[in-house]
Amino acid sequence: MALWKLNPLTKRKLKRFQSIKRGYWSFIVLGVTLFISLFGELLVNDQALVVRYNGSWYFPALADTYPIKWIYTPKAPRTGKFFGMEKDEDGHPYSYPVNYRGLQRKWDEGSAEGWLVMPLIPHDPYKPNFSEGVGKLSAPSREHKHYLGTDDAGRDIAARLFYGFRIVMLFALGFTFMVFFIGSALGCLMGYFGGLTDLFGLRVVEIWANIPFLYMVMIMVSVLPSKVGMMTRVLMLLAIMVVFSWTSMTYYMRASTYKEKARDYVSAAILLGAGPLRIVFCHLLPNTVSTLVTFLPFTVAAAISSVTALDFLNFGLPEGTPSWGHQLRLGQEYIREKPWIIGSALTSIFLVLTMVTFIGEAVREAFDPKKFSTYE
């Protein structure tokens, strides 16, 4: 027995969505890529996935990222001496955390009994790579596995774009959820109660909607404390953007609620003794929120564009965070000498926004009320 049953109308909408191939496959590709990015440390990392040495197994990337009791996690990072390397490649004592890329090269030469497996992109997006003859703004190199080169700090561009995708997508999804939640709740309350509640709420929404979004975000971000942690700053930026972006959803939900509250099921709920909040959140909201489904992909696209633009202007995510906007700003500075920097960032943004737009078109077509709604 299925855990849930879809009504025939919903099945028709989903079937229509699947029939629009470019939107359907864009949804699959983007969803799978986002899911894979949640485990990005296993694909993009300078820590080895598996190390076999002296009959023992080690899982540095897994243990450092997802600490589990059955995986041995040392109290301090393993040094080169732990793996039998007294000196590094430059002849200095190997008393600092081991470079697994260098360890792999040494073992590949047959100088020790051991082997290891590195991630697909064996570089950390936050750490520079000044070894192996690689420096700042180096060109793409398959030999050193810097497939898109390095930035002005010696960090791998491909790694930063991959982590930037995860950050911007999670940021956009969180932004969309919060905007929809606030706008839908307030719009339903205004539409249901009407009268002075609706009049006062509408005046507040109109005033708030006329506040220049970009300027206010830039002003508020500029006064944030510089000593706060990266996650705290990201959450504060998210809160600031939501505060000045929820008004557009309120208009649609208010209009839909005005139409729905005149239907028979609302009158029946009132006769059965349901309170106003129960009617709003248990009856009206589920029946009106479908009108916002078509806005969902486009809100995500707007959030991606906004946070990228703020990063480009240096008013977004903290400096050093993997970000497409930071990459665009760097690429602009070296657009003639290092065109692959801005080219890789623009390609990433273009592909993601194109897929989100295709998804939005398919959702809008599939949930078109003119085709799938009947009113008696």
Output the CATH code of domain 158-372. Answer: 1.10.3720.10
Residue type at 43? L
Encode pLDDT of 144-189 as tens digits.
Answer: 888 898 888 889 999 999 999 999 999 999 999 999 889 888 888 8
Nearest of 154, 156, 148, 158 to residue 135 by alpha carbon: 154
Q: What is the pLDDT of residue 89?
A: 65
Distances (CA, A) of 146 to 105, 124, 128, 143, 342: 16, 11, 12, 8, 16
pTM here is: 0.84
- Torsion-angle region of 172 (φ positive above 0: left; ψ -120 to 50: alpha; else: beta): alpha
Distances (CA, A) of 206 to 53, 191, 251: 66, 15, 10
Nearest of 133, 171, 124, 319 to residue 330 by alpha carbon: 319
Residues 6+ apart with CB under 8 A from 59: 49, 50, 51, 71, 72
φ/ψ of residue 58, rounded to 5: -135, 145
Cβ distance 158 to 274 under 8 Å? no
- SS3 for 50? strand
Encode pLDDT of 289-301 as tens digits.
Answer: 777 777 888 889 9
Q: What is the pLDDT of residue 35?
A: 95
Q: What is the pLDDT of residue 352?
A: 95
Structure-block tokens of residue 66 = 């997802």
What is the mean predicted confidence (pLDDT) over 20-38? 93
Q: What is the 3-state secondary structure (H, E, C) of 7-22?
A: CHHHHHHHHHHHHCHH
Cα gap 287→259, rounded to integer Å = 11
Nearest of 327, 366, 364, 340 to residue 168 by alpha carbon: 327
Cα gap 100→122, rounded to integer Å = 9
Encode pLDDT of 50-76 as tens digits.
Answer: 888 887 888 888 776 655 554 454 545
pLDDT of 375 strictly over 60? no
Q: How confident is the model at residue 29 (pLDDT cuts 50, 70, 90)?
A: very high
Q: What is the pLDDT of residue 373?
A: 46
Which residues make up the CATH 1.10.3720.10 domain(s) of the chain?
A: 158-372
